[in-house]
Structure 1
Amino acid sequence: MTPRTVLFTVAELLGWWIALGPLWLVLISTVDTLELVVGASCACVGAFAARGARRAVSAT
């Protein structure tokens, strides 16, 4: 992997994580520490899944 590819991958994952994290907060009823940790973890898993799905569709 070139440094440019690594930078693009990190930026894409961070972008998905930033998009999915607030979505989790909107969908829950109470915001406490445990929910923030679970939401951040689920957003991270979702970001990797979204990147994998994009790569599978575009075949790059």
Structure 2
Amino acid sequence: MRRTAEFLIWWAALLVLWLVLVTTVDTLELAVGAGASALGALAATAARRAVTPS
């Protein structure tokens, strides 16, 4: 549950950043931003787990 929450927080933060930086918000831009945010959130959670001892 904690990993899911961490992923969703990262995803939401990166999606908001994407929407702030993009000039036109249409359906395609939103879909691309959601996908890019998901990849970034996955990388951020994986990197944190790699450096944090279990």
The TM-score, its normalising length taken from structure 1, stands at 0.84
Greater relative contact order structure (CA < 8 Å, 6+ sep):
2
Of structures 1 and 2, the larger Rg is shown by 1
| CA RMSD between the two structures | 0.8
Any stretches of 5+ residues in structure 1 without a counterpart?
1-6
Runs (4 or more) in structure 1 with deviation over 4 Å come to: none
Question: Is structure 2 residue 21 aligned with structure 1 residue 27?
Answer: yes
State the partner residue of 1:41: 35
The TM-score, its normalising length taken from structure 2, stands at 0.93
State the partner residue of 2:50: 56
Identity %, equivalent residues: 57
